[in-house]
Amino acid sequence: MTELLQYLLMLFLVVCAVAVARIRDLLAAVIIFAAYSLVMAILWLLLASPDIAITEAALGAGVTTLLLLAAISKTRREE
């Protein structure tokens, strides 16, 4: 059961990575990137690396997402 969950999470990571590379909207790309980081943290936890999982959750999903959102908020959006 755990292996099936790991494979599903890895498939989700690949889908997120392709979506971030192909999407045109910056805000949507940041949200998908945050989801990618959270799933990566879950995978690190399943692989028995809790220290890396905490770091990925804090830096990857937390700080990086906030910095990217702050950068987007400083730019103008063209329709």
What is the tens place of the pLDDT at every residue in 12-47? 999 999 999 999 998 999 999 999 999 999 999 999
How many other CB atoms are found less than 10 A from the CB of residue 22?
Answer: 8
What does the pLDDT read at residue 79?
64
Q: What is the pLDDT of residue 59?
A: 92
Q: Where are the domains of the chain?
A: 2-73
Instruction: Determine if residue 78 is left, alpha or beta; phi over 0 gives left, psi from -120 to 50 gives alpha, anything else beta.
Output: beta
Over residues 49-73, the pLDDT tens digits come to 999 999 999 998 899 999 999 999 9
pTM (two decimals): 0.86
> H-helix or E-strand containing 62?
none
pLDDT at 1: 76
Considering Cα of 67, then 70, then 76, then 79, what sign does the dihedral take?
positive
Give the span between the Cα atoms of 40 and 10, in whole angstroms.
Answer: 8
